[in-house]
Amino acid sequence: MISSGFFGALARIYPPGRLLTRTAELAPYESDGLTAFRVRPGGVVLPTSADEVIETVRLCHRFGVPFVARGSGTSLSGGSVPIEDGLLIGLNKMNRILQYDPQERIAVVEPGVINQRASQISVGDGLYYAPDPSSAAVCTIGGNVAFNSGGAHCLKYGMTSNHVLGIKGVLPDGEVVQFGGPSLEQVGTDLLGMFVGSEGLFGCALEITLRLLPKPEKYYTLQAAYRSLEEAGNAVSMVVASGLLPGALEIMDRLAMNASDAAVQANYPKDAQAILIVELEGPIEEVDAETPLLQKLIDDSGAYRVDVAKNAAERLKIWTGRKCAFSAVGRLSPDFIVQDGVVPRTKLGEALARIDEISRQSGIPVANVFHAGDGNLHPLILFDGRTPGALERAEEVAAEILRLCIKLGGSITGEHGVGLEKRAFFEEMFGKKDTDLMRRIRDAIDPGQIANRGKMLPDTSAPALTHRGLHPVEKQGLAFRS
């Protein structure tokens, strides 16, 4: 239990309304996007400044109280679920743009700034922030940093780590640090690279320096229809092998198309088993030169129908269907597990065929929508949690898909992180030596394991819950309820 002395110290920092302790106040914070994991925190604080966060973390260190820092709570891996009898530090009120320099092409933002806003502030100068996760309208930059988020255009532009130049942060013991800075050139050990994607195990970002890019002069967006998912996967390998580097390469299967059609009337070809979205972007001359090559590749790949966006409205319609796919799947099933594995692009067709086989053998529908360009799969495993045993069977399918990714030389996560959901597979992927090294690094920075305790690493057990099957306390599993 959190002591009265700790709450008393918090009350000297936070006025009423920004220190939440009552049951009804805490309820909205008990889970993140992976709602099968639920824990009510001991308290929630809502800081409005870096100094308040620093004071709070120092108090947590002094009293030995574990904490989770989070923004909008859109994590799909349970990575921002609270800790029982711990403190949740909600950063949404820290949403200021601290500096914007169009000449240097940088913006310094607080962690609660919404992803899309980083592009909106620079649109008048022809700049934008490249990482574009599907939740960009609601997810925060701080959360993107914690999980190294990607998005549809990460094939060409990379992940969050490729667009964060510097971080001012507070470590779990309250020490304030500066990693990196405004320059593209970094000196010394890449501590910034270690912090980005650490899922909150190394503390909390307070100020984040973002790299902005010139907005592409031209887009060429096409949507190709295929009679099988494997054909679409093989088409991706053909495009990448050609030397082309599209801004995006995305695939949706029939189930995902059905969901998006129902949600936003995307009007996908009714007889297609898969569609491939390819977008070229960049200087006009570059896009014009690459367009004929892409058209020939798509024709040779077996696509039986190709639609090209003729204007911005048609481009937006193509992307609206893709971006809404996760939430739209809720129209097909009351519950689903959102998985996030990676396979080498050369194994994409094989992986998709195997996922289809797993689905048929288990009798559990799997909708596929994913960043095909970098092999980042997002199979959505559909089930009805009201049916006894349905969740457990869906979890078995999810586990089989993750192990397939490992077997094919891929990863258990591309952008959603490990969180609570995938800790059981961590050592299976990395091996004992690498896992032990990561534990030692974490322990050197946070010996008390107070920062986001119980996440990512397999031996940092949270008091309240762990992955189902590893601990009898957790019975709800890995499901996302729509």
Domain boundary among 292, 326, 360: 326
Domain region containing 464: 333-481
- 389 shares a domain with 263: no
pLDDT at residue 462, as a whole number: 45
pLDDT at residue 472, as a whole number: 29
- 294 shares a domain with 231: yes
- Residue with structure tokens 């106040």? 25
- 180 shares a domain with 49: no
pTM equals 0.90
Beta-bridged to residue 33, according to DSSP, are none
Q: Which amino acid is at 239?
A: V
Query: Closest by alpha carbon to 107, among 166, 159, 151, 157?
Result: 166
pLDDT at residue 455, as a whole number: 94
Return the CATH number at 340: 3.30.70.2740
Series of mean pLDDT values for 10-residue runs along the chain (482 residues) = 92 96 95 86 98 98 97 93 95 98 97 96 96 92 96 91 97 97 84 96 98 96 93 89 93 92 88 95 96 96 95 92 85 88 88 91 92 89 90 91 96 93 92 95 96 87 38 36 36
- 240 shares a domain with 227: yes
Sign of CA dihedral 387, 388, 392, 396: negative
Return the CATH number at 51: 3.30.43.10
Domain boundary among 326, 357, 376: 326
Domain count, the chain: 4
**Gyration radius from the chain CA atoms:** 22
Q: Are 272 and 235 in contact (CB under 8 A)?
A: no
Q: Report how far residue 392's alpha carbon sits from residue 36's, in angstroms, rounded to the nearest whole number.
A: 12
Backbone angles phi, psi at 70, to 5 degrees: -150, 160
